[in-house]
């Protein structure tokens, strides 16, 4: 188990470097988040020992359990659907929340950030495909949503995030990634006070190379590193 995680990690980092090179981007400007949901602190430590510092979790409970027992220089990225009543548990543990999918959630993040006296960097989740099972703002709602969220104290809007549909052929997701890039550029051009359109978070294990070529700044890679998750 352990040996295979280390091997998967080095192979992934090689493929990641290759994808950056092919896209004409420096591996320093694109950040790979190792998505460790469902995997133990011991598994995470293996990857940390290889130099990885960005990890992603999608459940408040897991982040609460893992953050205190792992090295303090890990940057934890919260990437999953976040219930409002869980914000208080992660507000001082996450380095960034990628999945702000409603104004109500943003209000709660703002409230908790003020209570803890922190400023939380957030990305706004976009649901371009209009998939019913996925959260996020539709493209038409984005401008209004950004303006309302950016006006809240205690959070810093730093970009957009999307979860693409799973396509057997990752090339099939390229048009959606391209649309996200265009949307990020449009959003930057709106010059909404408090909005800094720095980051685009998109791409997962099977399609991150395409996402990097289309402008991803964060890719979220789980199973390629840790193996398949066992859902119970």
Ligand X SMILES: *Cc1c(COP(=O)(O)O)cnc(C)c1O
From the number of C-beta atoms within 10 Å of its C-beta (0-12, 13-18, 19+), residue 181 rates as middle
Closest residue by Cα to residue 165 from 214, 199, 128: 128
From the number of C-beta atoms within 10 Å of its C-beta (0-12, 13-18, 19+), residue 24 rates as exposed
Q: How many residues bind ligand X (CB under 6 A)?
A: 13
Nearer to ligand X (CB atom), residue 36 or residue 67:
36
From the number of C-beta atoms within 10 Å of its C-beta (0-12, 13-18, 19+), residue 132 rates as exposed
Counting contacts by CB under 6 A, is residue 223 touching ligand X?
A: yes
Counting contacts by CB under 6 A, is residue 123 touching ligand X?
A: no
Q: How far is the CB of 58 from ligand X (least distance, A)?
A: 4
Nearer to ligand X (CB atom), residue 63 or residue 224:
224
Residue 201 pairs with which residues in a beta bridge?
161, 218
Q: DSSP 3-state helix, strand, coil percentages of the chain (rounded to 5)?
A: 45, 20, 35
Nearer to ligand X (CB atom), residue 37 or residue 178:
37
Candidates 15, 27, 37, 86; binder of ligand X (CB under 6 A) is 37
Q: Which two tokens stand for residue 73?
A: 């220089």
> Residues 143 to 182: which contact ligand X by CB under 6 A?
163
Its sign, for the CA torsion 10, 16, 20, 23, is positive
Counting contacts by CB under 6 A, is residue 222 touching ligand X?
A: yes
Nearer to ligand X (CB atom), residue 111 or residue 205:
205
Q: What is the CA radius of gyration of the chain?
A: 17
Nearer to ligand X (CB atom), residue 35 or residue 120:
35
Residue 199 pairs with which residues in a beta bridge?
159
Counting contacts by CB under 6 A, is residue 35 touching ligand X?
A: yes
Q: How far is the CB of 33 from ligand X (least distance, A)?
A: 8
Nearer to ligand X (CB atom), residue 32 or residue 192:
32
d(CA 21, CA 168): 24
Counting contacts by CB under 6 A, is residue 13 touching ligand X?
A: no
Candidates 45, 102, 179, 205; binder of ligand X (CB under 6 A) is 205
Counting contacts by CB under 6 A, is residue 219 touching ligand X?
A: no
- Which residues would be at the binding site for ligand X (CB under 6 A)? 35, 37, 58, 79-80, 163, 204-205, 220-224
């Amino acid at each position: 188990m352990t040996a295979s995680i280390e091997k998967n990690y080095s192979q992934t980092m090689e493929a990641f470097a290759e994808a950056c090179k092919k896209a004409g981007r420096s591996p320093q400007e694109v950040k790979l988040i190792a998505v460790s949901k469902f995997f133990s602190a011991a598994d995470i430590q293996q990857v940390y020992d290889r130099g990885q510092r960005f990890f992603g979790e999608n459940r408040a409970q897991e982040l609460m359990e893992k953050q205190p027992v792992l090295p303090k220089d890990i940057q934890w990225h919260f990437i999953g659907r976040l219930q409002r009543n869980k914000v208080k548990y992660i507000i001082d543990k996450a380095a960034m929340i990628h999945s702000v999918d409603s104004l109500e959630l943003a209000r709660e993040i703002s409230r908790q950030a003020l209570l803890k006296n922190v400023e939380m960097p957030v990305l706004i989740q976009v649901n371009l495909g209009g998939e019913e099972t996925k959260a996020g703002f539709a493209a038409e709602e984005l401008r209004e949503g950004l303006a309302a969220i950016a006006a809240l104290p205690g959070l810093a809007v730093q970009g957009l995030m999307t979860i693409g549909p799973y396509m057997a052929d990752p090339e099939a997701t390229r048009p959606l990634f391209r649309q996200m890039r265009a949307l990020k550029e449009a959003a930057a051009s709106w010059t909404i006070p408090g909005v800094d359109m720095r980051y685009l978070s998109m791409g997962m294990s099977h399609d991150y190379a395409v996402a990097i070529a289309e402008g991803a700044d964060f890719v979220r890679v789980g199973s390629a590193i840790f193996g398949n998750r066992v859902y119970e």
